[in-house]
Copies of this chain bind each other. A is one copy, B any other.
Amino acid sequence: MARSGNGVEPPQPPGDGAPTAELPKVTDRAVGRARAIPEAAVARLAVYLRVLSAMADQGAVTVSSEELASAAGVNSAKLRKDLSYLGSYGTRGVGYEVEVLVSEIERTLGLTRKQTVAVVGIGNLGHALANYAGFPGRGFPVEALFDVDPDLIGVPVGGLPVQHIDDIPKVCAQKRIAIGIIATPPAAAQGVCDRLVAGGVQCILNFAPVVLQVPSHVEVRKVDLAVELQILSFHVARKAEQRHAGRSAAKRAERNGRAPANRAGQRNGGRATARRTPSNGEVV
């Protein structure tokens, strides 16, 4: 089956014209302009935005990188570097103006125009998502709900009637849905995904524990709670193992929180990359 399924993740740069071109060791080139915000930074910007909004609500006018960093649970140097991707909006010796940062981050994250959302699979999780006030509150109005269950079709959930999944392409195109959230059973996820893509949806947030195959222009992020728990489980196991075996060094650091250079708050950052349909139809 050759390389890896979908085939195309070549070592060479895109090289539109000449795939075999022997380019030396140019690092960036390729794309048009220069500055590209690192994936990891984007995730943190979203967190800063939340913290800043809360600060603004409390009447704060300016923040220093130190303050903001500590509230967001990151290192202040990292914070400054992250903010520097937006441009230079701070004042040395003073700090950042909260309002300015908020609007700059919003602009960068593309939150100036609302991104409409559709939820597919109105079961336990789908209900919660459809009712969640935090989405519209943050510029992500939920404008369509879908399911297969005949008993659900037409029933309003969170003020919006559930529609049949066969209508996904039509409705999504019509309402210009930007983001699709998949909360169906795993087996149904790929089919739903395909319909969303057919409807012109550009981004998908997937709760079903499957790896989705999508065309390259579609962005997928997944949230897999079982995986989250397993990662936590790993850390517990590792700590327990350490406690039993290596009881020589590192003991007080482990116990009462001195935690030397405890750099960051809890994260789940990371990037998500789209993926093409592969040649082989592996099971999932």
Contact = CB atoms under 8 A, between A and B. Distances in A.
B16 A225 contact: no
A47 interface: yes
Contacts of A245: 32-33
A225 B134 contact: yes
A55 B220 CA distance: 24
A121 to B, nearest CB: 11
Contact of A32 (B246, B269, B284): B246
B7 A272 contact: no
B111 A230 contact: yes
Interface residues of A, number: 130
User: For the complex formed by this chain, how many copies does it contain in all?
Assistant: 2
A70 B282 contact: yes
Contacts of A67: 1, 280, 282
A138 B230 contact: yes
A43 B66 CA distance: 31
Given A232-B203, A282-B71, A216 B258 contact: yes
Contact of A262 (B8, B42, B58): B8
B221 A231 contact: yes
Interface residue SS majority, chain A = loop
A275 to B, nearest CB: 5
Contacts of A12: 260-261
A11 interface: yes
Interface stretch (A87-95, A123-131, A144-152, A161-169): A123-131
B128 A1 contact: no
Contacts of A253: 7-8, 14, 16, 216
A7 B260 contact: yes
A238 interface: yes
B266 A66 contact: no
Interface centre among A49, A249, A282 (most CB of B within 10 A): A282
7 contacts: A4-B76, A5-B235, A42-B234, A124-B131, A202-B236, A216-B257, A268-B270
Given A16-B250, A67-B280, A125-B132, 4 more contacts: A43-B231, A71-B282, A108-B234, A115-B236
